[in-house]
């Protein structure tokens, strides 16, 4: 399955701490509402996810700060749970000011990769 989602906020701007509780920030809620408009279908079993990020500008960013927002959007819609993800590839792509986005490829892993799902490790 291939999906295109809006460019997410960094995990640093996705959550806010209020009175000791972590809640979605205003930016996080706006992103989630926008991304939830993208139609998705559940992919069963173990999956590989490739996430290509096209940021709005060329500023330096930490690549690993962007999966949380995307993961929250695809959970229960494209995958049942984060634990299904057995391979995750994150990639920066050229900045695209006119269309910042995340392109996702979610692929079901073949049964011969059972060692990835039996809890015994590789």
Q: What is the CATH number of the domain that holds 7?
A: 3.30.1330.70
Q: Is 119 within the bounds of a domain? A: no
Residue 16 bridge partners (DSSP)? 23
pTM above 0.75, yes or no: yes
Q: Is 99 within the bounds of a domain? A: yes
Q: Can you tell me which residue has the tokens 């996810």?
A: 49
The total of structural domains in the chain comes to 1
**Residue 111, pLDDT above cutoff 80:** no
Q: Is 95 within the bounds of a domain? A: yes
pLDDT score of 14: 86
pLDDT score of 35: 93
Could you report the per-residue pLDDT of 77-105, keeping only the tens digit for each? 999 998 999 999 999 999 999 999 999 99
Q: Is 120 within the bounds of a domain? A: no
* Residue 118 confidence class, pLDDT cut points 50, 70, 90: low
Q: Is 33 within the bounds of a domain? A: yes
Q: Is 121 within the bounds of a domain? A: no
Structure tokens at 22: 């972590």
pLDDT score of 22: 86
Q: Is 54 within the bounds of a domain? A: yes
- Which has the closest alpha carbon to 41: 82, 12, 1, 72? 1
Could you report the per-residue pLDDT of 2-46, keeping only the tens digit for each? 999 999 999 888 888 888 888 888 999 999 999 999 999 999 999
pLDDT score of 17: 82
Q: Which residues of 26-58 are buried (b: 16+ CB within 10 A; e: fewer)?
A: ebbeebbeebeeeebeebeebbbbebebbbeee
19-23, 57-61, 69-73, 115-119: the lowest-pLDDT one: 115-119
Average pLDDT across the chain, whole number: 90
Q: Is 118 within the bounds of a domain? A: no
pLDDT score of 19: 87
User: Domain limits at 15?
Assistant: 2-110
């Amino acid at each position: 399955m291939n999906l295109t989602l809006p460019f997410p906020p960094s995990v640093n701007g996705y959550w806010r701490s209020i009175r000791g509780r972590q809640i979605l920030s205003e930016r996080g809620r706006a992103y989630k509402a926008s991304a939830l408009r993208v139609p998705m279908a559940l992919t069963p079993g173990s999956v590989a996810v490739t996430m290509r990020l096209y940021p709005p500008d060329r500023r330096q960013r930490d690549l690993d700060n962007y999966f949380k927002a995307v993961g929250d959007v695809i959970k229960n819609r494209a995958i049942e749970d984060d634990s299904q993800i057995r391979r995750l590839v994150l990639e920066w792509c050229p900045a695209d000011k006119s269309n910042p986005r995340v392109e996702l490829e979610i692929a079901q892993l073949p049964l011969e990769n059972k060692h990835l799902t039996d809890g015994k490790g590789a």
